Chain A
Amino acid sequence: MSELEPEDRMRFEQLVLPHIDAAFNLARWLLRGRTDAEDVAQEALLRACRFIRGFHGGDARAWLLQIVRNTCYTWLEKNRPMELSMEFDEEIHLQASATPETLAISGDDRGRLILALETLPPRFREVLVLRELEGCTYKEIAAITSLPIGTVMSSLSRARRQLYSALANSSQKGAVREV
């Protein structure tokens, strides 16, 4: 392992590290679990640190999230290739991550929402997470996912529809509203 140059370390700490929460959050939702997310987010952050010279200014959060996303997809291809071949209209239901966290709350609305989000195919889940949880603009999402803006918009629209109907079908719409 080569030593980190002081200048690289400074740039990493000032520009990239402030987005560590965004990195972990995206990994957690793409991989549907905290433990895997921590490993993969760590790998992505170290990668970003080693390649900080490849970052020539601009949006550091988008740059980092692009690396996180690629690292997550590579991990999924190696460990859970089925999830990636899943198409939106296919009747495949992912088993939501059975962490103690989700088990403990699976009976309530928060659990239902997590379940609905986790059963979306990754390509739709990621745009929804980037938009609704991370507050990214369409342009930022397009940069992070390397998708055209039109595709970002249509993915977002379908993800929202799917999530909405999943929640509405569980007829708990009113209850969630009151959380």
Chain B
Amino acid sequence: MKCDFTDSLLQGYFDGELSGRRAAEFERHLQHCDHCASELVDLDWLSGALRLTQLYVPAPASLRRKIDAYVHPKAPTAAPSQPLLWHWLAAAAALLVVAIVLWRVSPELRSDDYQAELAGEIVDAHLRSLQPGHMTGIASNDERVIKGWFDTKVKFALPIRDFAGAGFVLNGGRVDVIEGRSVAVLVYEHNGHPINVFMWATQEPDTSPRTGSRQGFQWVDWRKNKMEFCAVSDAFPADLELLRQLINSSV
């Protein structure tokens, strides 16, 4: 006999996800519904089988060691000698030179590193979005509809514009995860090429655009007015630059 209680309610009860009131209501129902009672027995049996079989696979020691080696890189051990004073002085002078050089170049080095990591993540996210059904969380070309959808999901104001007049058709948006934080993505299409424009709030100062390519995809990244943007596509670099200028003029 099919009962009125939906499958999700039964499951919610089993997983302890119902409120006290809902759970009590379900328990009253359970007293005279054989269908739900037997479903509950099955759920319990399955859960028990999974638990008893000990399918949880903990991390192997080799993985722990590799992570530990990354977190605590071993400093090269110095020869145990008794250096003379001038040895110390020479070492101190050398250190000073190294420190000065590092101080002058490291912001750029670090920034390049960051850029490479970021480009990798963005291109990965772009690839994921090309899977069927993964491009948009909201499929629409209506700026207001997309804005309303994003309002409940991201905490920053987005420049949402359709540039269909210039050949960049707004197809919708979604929320993606880059570097462990949620970012907004606007999805455009230009001559059949999908273009993902990732955007998130930042505290960093404005930058001029940086571009690159990775796995056959072009990306351009820039910051303006406390927002960082990264557009990625297999479209021509010149087209991507055109879209960047259109977006930039609307920020």
A2, B107: Cα distance in complex, Å: 10
Point out the residues of chain A lying under 8 angstroms from B180, CB to CB: 48, 51, 54-55, 63, 66-67
A-facing residues in B170-197 (Cβ within 8 Å): 175-177, 179-181
Cβ of B110 under 8 Å from chain A? yes
Contact A154 to B42, CB < 8 A, known contacts A42-B63, A113-B49:
no
B59 neighbours in A (Cβ, 8 Å): 20-21, 23-25, 41
Check B181–A54 contact: CB distance below 8 A. yes
- Kindly identify which residue among B49, B56, B128, B132 contacts A74, using a CB–CB cutoff of 8 Å: B128
Contacts of A94 in B (CB 8 A): none
Interface of B is mostly: helix
In the assembled complex, how far is the CB of residue B180 from the closest CB belonging to chain A, in whole angstroms? 4
Residue-wise interface mask of A (71-113) relative to B, using a CB-CB cutoff of 8 A (1 in contact, 0 not): 0011001100000110000000000000000000000011001
**CB neighbors of A among B98-130 (8 A):** 109-110, 113, 117, 124-125, 127-128
Known: A63-B180, A146-B175. A50 touches B56 (CB 8 A): no
Q: Number of A interface residues at 8 Å Cβ cutoff, please give it.
A: 62
Interface string of A138-179 (1 = CB under 8 A from B): 100000001000100110110010011001000001001101
Q: Which residues on A sit within 8 Å (CB–CB) of B12?
A: 138, 153
With contact pairs A153-B12, A160-B46 given, residues A74 and B17 touching in the complex (Cβ less than 8 Å): no
Distance of B53 from chain A, by nearest CB (Å): 5
Contact of B179 among A9, A37, A51, A163 (CB under 8 A): A51
CB nearest to A148 among chain B residues = B137
Contacts known (A66-B180, A146-B175); A38 close to B63, Cβ less than 8 A: yes
A34-67 CB contacts (< 8 Å) to partner B: 34, 37-38, 41-42, 45-46, 48-51, 54-56, 63, 66-67
- Determine if B62 is an interface residue (Cβ-Cβ < 8 Å): yes
> Would you call A2 and B15 a contact (CB within 8 A)?
no
Contact among B7, B55, B58, B125 for A114, CB-based, below 8 A: B55
Among B28-36, B66-74, B216-224, B240-248, the stretch that binds chain A is B66-74
B63 touches A113 (CB 8 A): no
Q: Which residues of B contact A23 (CB under 8 A)?
A: 59
Which residues of A have CB within 8 Å of B15? 131, 137-138
Chain A residues whose CB sits within 8 angstroms of the CB of B52 once the complex forms: 176, 179
Q: Are A132 and B48 in contact (CB under 8 A)?
A: no
Q: What's the least CB distance linking A158 to chain B, in Å? A: 9
Question: Is the pair A49, B8 in contact by a Cβ cutoff of 8 Å?
Answer: no
* Cβ contacts under 8 Å, A150 to chain B: 8
B contacts with A, residue count (CB < 8 A):
47
B7 and chain A: residue at smallest CB distance:
A157
**B:58-102 near A, CB below 8 Å:** 58-60, 62-64, 66-67, 70-72
Query: In the complex, are the beta carbons of B45 and A179 less than 8 A apart?
Result: no
Binding site of A, secondary structure by majority: helix, strand, loop or mixed? helix
Q: Are B53 and A54 in contact (CB under 8 A)?
A: no
- In the complex, which of the residues A25, A37, A50, A66 contacts B177, with contact meaning CB atoms closer than 8 Å? A66
A157 to B8, CA, bound (A): 7
State in angstroms the CA–CA spacing of A30 and B147 once bound together: 34
Digitize A110-132: 1 where CB-to-B-CB distance is under 8 Å, 0 elsewhere: 10011001000000000000011
A45–B67 Cα distance when bound, in Å, is 7
- Asked whether, in the complex, the Cβ of A2 is within 8 Å of the Cβ of B175, the reply is no
Whole-angstrom distance from the CB of B137 to the nearest CB of chain A?
9
Q: Which residue of A lies closest to B113 (CB)?
A: A2
- Which among A25, A37, A42, A78 is the interface contact of B56 at CB below 8 angstroms? A25
Contact of B53 among A25, A63, A131, A176 (CB under 8 A): A176
Contact of A164 among B46, B57, B109 (CB under 8 A): B46
